[in-house]
Amino acid sequence: MDQDIPELVDEEHNDACANGASGSDDDDDFYEVDMGMEAVQCLFCEEQLPCVEKGLEHLKQGHSVDFQILKSKFHMDQYAFIKLINCIRCEEVPAKKVLAADIPFWNDEKYLKAREYEAWLSYDYDEMPRAAAIDNDGATKNDLLSTIKSLQEKVKEQELLLEQAREDMTKMRVSFQRLLDNEPTPTTNERNRKLKAPNSVASLSLEADSSYFSSYAHFGIHHEMLSDVVRTTSYRDALILNKEYVHGKDVLDVGCGTSILSIFASQAGAKSVVGIDNSDIIYSAMDIVKRNNINNVTLVKGRLEDTNLPQEKFDIIISEWMGYFLLFEGMLDSVIYARDTHLKPDGILLPNRCTMSIVGYGSESLYKDQVTYWDNVYGLNMSNMRKEVLHEPLIDVVDAGHILTEANIVADLNLLKVDLNYSNFTYSFDLKCIKSGELSAFVGYFDTFFDLPVPVMFSTSPNSKPTHWKQVVFFLEKTQKIAVGDTVKGIIVCRRSRNSARSLDITIESFGNKCTYYLD
């Protein structure tokens, strides 16, 4: 990806930032609960300890049960810790059975229910670091890291072999089909064009991806997009205000929907326009084109990567592919495929450039409505929900009056140059504070550019007219006090989700805390 703005940050740098940054010591720490000196009884004997920390040390020294090692060995989280405590209490499990365990025998939902309250169950086990080594020979941390590195190299090697195998299988399928069709042997470029990158949306089967296209068959979503004046008029202006540039050109509209952009291109003087969409909305679009007597627009139903178009090459490729925080939905994959397969050597993409930005934000009411709300829900304490809710970013139009910092551009995408790795980037941000207040979130948005003789752009910033994309709000685990002139430092890491080619995993590290948000 052509990015002049973001700088890559390796994992060692991330760790240094995490260890070096300091957060607030407020009593209302999001994760930590002040245990005070609440006494606990040993899990395996009658001895009373003054607090959980002393209890854990006693278990380690007196019974050789180290909960750090258990956390690493069984990949335990807070719920697993609670289950183990309750299992030991309910079943009177001896220490030797825990030490001899090869599988977590306590991993049963019934152990989430405690026999009675005790301080062990309030301990924040998630905050306990994993053991440096967990093998019986007492391997050092360096030995473990070396082993991990070796395994990672082997995994990477196997992934490369798997990718090569996928490509070989694709080639075999294409060759076999040609034998059946008695087609001539293709050139190398033609063969490569048929291959689909394994990490792109094109690698998904049509059945697996059907829900995505089905969502665009509903008329409501098209009403929302067409009613977005900023979005629709920006595309119209880019074409109509540049009629001399569009006149006589062949145009491809990727993901044409109701065909509004195809019609704008026709009105701007395009020689011919081809629109393609795999959603059933294409049938309504065909009727729209016919009703408006648009004679040079041809509409095709199908997924671009699997469909033969009426013509091979185009002067202009236009597409409204942007999702929340720009990259959600992964439709840029299809635009890249269109660019590499169907764009003439001197052709252009519209839009041709997009940037992604974040800004510091502080709204007490929004934070209360979305985060601290869980502390008292109709008189019930549901604060355990906070941690889960944080991972789901809020999509909403935010009040620009609560912006507390300057913005940073975290990614700058030249669409003529980006590759399918565009969604994987890391950026170290420095947000200069322009207001004093309580920082409660980072807000993400994007800007879109049509660099034409008459340039056009639009922004989804909180400072601009609202669009249907709104903004993406990444709430902090706890609010942070800032003052004018301060600099909020951190790291944002964006990755394509392993679970869905159309989703994003976004990790933000700041104020000594790290949180991963799932945009899916």
Q: How far apart are CA 437 and CA 432, in angstroms?
A: 13
Of residues 12, 46, 91, 320, which has the active-site annotation? 320
Q: What would the two tokens of residue 112 be?
A: 């989430």
Q: How far apart are CA 249 and CA 118, in angstroms?
A: 75
- Give the strand pairing for 40-41 and 353-361: unpaired
Cβ atoms < 10 Å from Cβ of 238: 29
Indicate the burial class of 134 (C-beta count within 10 angstroms; 0-12, 13-18, 19 or more).
Answer: middle
N-term to C-term CA, the chain: 23
Contact 262, 275 (CB under 8 A): yes
Computed over its alpha carbons, how large is the radius of gyration of the chain? 28
> Of the candidates 40, 69, 66, which has an alpha carbon nearest to the alpha carbon of residue 52?
40
Of residues 305, 329, 477, 509, which has the active-site annotation? 329
Q: How far apart are CA 76 and CA 126, in angstroms?
A: 8
The residues near 4 (Cβ < 8 Å, ≥ 6 apart) are 412
Q: Which amino acid is at 480?
A: Q
Confirm whether 157 is a catalytic residue.
no
Confirm whether 329 is a catalytic residue.
yes
Per DSSP, the residues of 203-234 read GS-TTTTHHHHHHTTSHHHHHHHHH-HHHHHH
Q: What would the two tokens of residue 122 be?
A: 């309030």
Q: What would the two tokens of residue 54 be?
A: 């002393």
Cβ atoms < 10 Å from Cβ of 137: 6
SS3 314: strand
Active site residues: 320, 329
